[in-house]
Amino acid sequence: MKTLNITLVEDEPGDASLIQYSLRFSGYDHNLEWVQSLAELSAHQRQTNAAADIVLLDLNLPDSTGIDTVTRCKSLVPDTPIVVLTGHDNMDFSLKVLEAGAQDYLVKSGLEGDALIRAMRYAIERHQMECRLQRSEELMTAAIEGGNLGVWDWNLKSGECDKSDLLLATLGFTRGDSELEPDSEPLIKRIHEDDAPGFHGALQAYLAGESPRFQCEFRLQHKDGHWPWHFISGHVVSWDGDEPERLVGIQQDITARKAMETRLRDLAMHDELTGLLNRRSFIQEMDREYGRVMRRPDYPVGLLMLDIDHFKRVNDSYGHAVGDVVLKAFADCIDRQLRENDVFGRLSGEEFAVLLPETDRDGVARVAEKLRSAIEGLETRTGNAGIHITTSIGAAGLHRDDERPDEALVLADQALYQAKHMGRNRVVIYSDTQVPGQPDPSFPESENAL
């Protein structure tokens, strides 16, 4: 495994020592350079020939604070991904951090080595994909300007459309095929029905003078039946009085770029190991469900928070690679028990969450117990050993009077804390009369597995 070269920008020696400690015991080979300000980072960049693989950035430095720190750091290391270390567990703030150019963010409280390593590797992969995508777009622009693409010449009056051999080849045709000759209608009819309105809208907007150029992306049916993506760009080259007569343009198969964009969006939304929604995406789903609760007072939504009991023992006993196998097995086991409209995400480390739309308190209790029982019966095989785990579950509901959409997470987390406090491998449902850290006297059933 390649050594990970890390630059830490952190002015608090205590926090820096904690990160160094976490990384030291993560089991991953790494080199760490520690600087205490952006000025020191700039000096370090001038003095070293080897660029870091990743920068870990604190936002409260002697020479910079807040979101502007990300922007300034990005200008110093434009080709290096940045992971922000923050004390803010706030959705709006985190989104601003990402918009400023960071690849990811981690909350300092509860930071663990393997979670930090995983976040850094995810940030590096996403940064590399963004760079490849940017290069692809730059190459596409250069190709368009050079004209080395499929070319068409469309007579808007007669409907005839001359197409280059390269354009025909991208669709599986040759000059001798009559299916696409000689006019434009057969080609337009091959546009995917979901994309046809966008194509015609872009064309009409351009011809009406509402857009400076005719450009759009759409799927075009190949001769063998599949649907590659195409980019088209054209302009009028001749007029019949006030009416456009000829439209000339180029066309490019952009299927690979579209696949890369889809993969990039997927990386931004999902946890790399389990394929589940990540924390940011899960909270966005919570926000949508909260909106339904606000519109429909009788719309019940349950929330479960699940934590693998004593998971650190698995990592310590078998190593992080086996720990990852257990995490994946846990996620797959839970996912098999859920309905299609339930929302399942990984919030961090061994902590997971489930949204249960249209599920009242009794339904939440039944689902929680079903999940707890399924995990209790799960065995993960590694070599000759079978690993058994259990899970503690805290439950709460989304309510109209919640101060913010993710308030239920706080309540479910308190219930989860009680489940662990009372012996683990059990379900606790949050009550409004509950005192954090103490058993819930209002719900006797919460003192035992439901």
- Chain CA centroid to CA 394, Å: 25
Q: How many helices (H) and strands (E) does the chain have?
A: 14, 19
Q: Say what the pLDDT of residue 351 is.
A: 92
Is the pLDDT score of 29 beyond 90? no
Last residue of a domain, one of 210, 229, 257: 257
Residues with catalytic annotation?
350
Tokens of 72: 């300034």
- Compute the mean pLDDT over every residue in the chain, rounded to the nearest whole number: 86
Q: Which of 57-61, 143-147, 297-301, 375-379 has the lowest mean pLDDT?
A: 143-147
Q: 113 with 199, same domain?
A: no
Report if residue 141 sits inside a domain.
no
Is the pLDDT score of 18 beyond 80? yes
Residue predicted with more confidence, 222 or 436? 222
Whose CA is closest to 124, among 94, 103, 95, 108? 103
Query: HSE-up of 441 (CA within 13 Å, CB side)?
Result: 2
Q: 122 with 154, same domain?
A: no
Last residue of a domain, one of 127, 158, 187: 127
Q: 353 with 434, same domain?
A: yes
Q: 295 with 363, same domain?
A: yes
Report if residue 58 sits inside a domain.
yes
CA–CA dist 135, 157 (Å, integer):
39
Distances, alpha carbon 166 to alpha carbons 138, 171, 235, in Å? 21, 9, 19
Report the CATH number at residue 346.
3.30.70.270
Q: Which residues share a beta bridge with 161?
A: 154
pLDDT above 90 coverage of the chain, percent: 45
Average pLDDT over residues 134-147: 66
Give every CB contact of residue 149 below 8 A, 6+ residues apart in sequence: 143, 166, 167, 250, 251, 252
Q: 202 with 99, same domain?
A: no
Q: 274 with 253, same domain?
A: no
| Ramachandran sector of residue 98 (left: φ over 0; alpha: ψ -120 to 50; beta: rest) | alpha
Q: 293 with 373, same domain?
A: yes
Report if residue 264 sits inside a domain.
no
Q: What is the pLDDT of residues 271-282, one digit of tens each?
A: 889 999 998 899
- Chain CA centroid to CA 295, Å: 28
Q: Say what the pLDDT of residue 449 is.
A: 32
Last residue of a domain, one of 225, 257, 289: 257
Q: Give the H or E element holding residue 187.
A: helix 185-189
Is the pLDDT score of 293 beyond 50? yes
Q: 72 with 114, same domain?
A: yes
Provide the pLDDT confidence category of residue 448 given band limits of 50, 70 and 90: very low
Residue predicted with more confidence, 297 or 183? 297
CA–CA dist 132, 267 (Å, integer):
15
Whose CA is closest to 230, among 239, 238, 220? 220
Q: Say what the pLDDT of residue 372 is.
A: 97
Is the pLDDT score of 314 beyond 70? yes
Average pLDDT over residues 327-333: 96
Q: Order across the sheet with 54-58: list the strands.
A: 30-35, 4-9, 54-58, 82-86, 104-107
CA–CA dist 212, 171 (Å, integer):
28
CA–CA dist 179, 430 (Å, integer):
66
Q: Say what the pLDDT of residue 183 is.
A: 66
Q: 93 with 22, same domain?
A: yes
Q: Which residues share a beta bridge with 247?
A: 154, 236
Whose CA is closest to 397, among 352, 435, 351, 362? 362
Tokens of 213: 């150029």
Q: 286 with 422, same domain?
A: yes
Q: Which of 167-171, 356-360, 440-444 has the lowest mean pLDDT?
A: 440-444
Tokens of 393: 């579950």
Q: Say what the pLDDT of residue 146 is.
A: 58
Q: 340 with 363, same domain?
A: yes
CA–CA dist 295, 386 (Å, integer):
48
Report if residue 121 sits inside a domain.
yes
Q: How many domains does the chain have?
A: 3
pLDDT above 70 coverage of the chain, percent: 92
Q: Which residues share a beta bridge with 58?
A: 85
Distances, alpha carbon 253 to alpha carbons 227, 257, 421, in Å? 10, 9, 58
Q: Say what the pLDDT of residue 147 is.
A: 52
Report if residue 309 sits inside a domain.
yes
CA–CA dist 296, 399 (Å, integer):
10
Provide the pLDDT confidence category of residue 158 given band limits of 50, 70 and 90: confident
Report if residue 9 sits inside a domain.
yes
Residue predicted with more confidence, 228 or 447? 228
Report the CATH number at residue 151.
3.30.450.20
Report if residue 355 sits inside a domain.
yes
Report if residue 132 sits inside a domain.
no
Q: 78 with 174, same domain?
A: no
Which residue range(s) make up the domain with 45? 4-127
Q: Which residues share a beta bridge with 277?
A: 270, 345
Please check whether residue 346 is in contact with residue 287, taking contact to mean a CB–CB distance below 8 angstroms: no
Provide the pLDDT confidence category of residue 24 given band limits of 50, 70 and 90: confident
Q: Say what the pLDDT of residue 42 is.
A: 92
Q: Say what the pLDDT of residue 443 is.
A: 32
CA–CA dist 203, 218 (Å, integer):
13
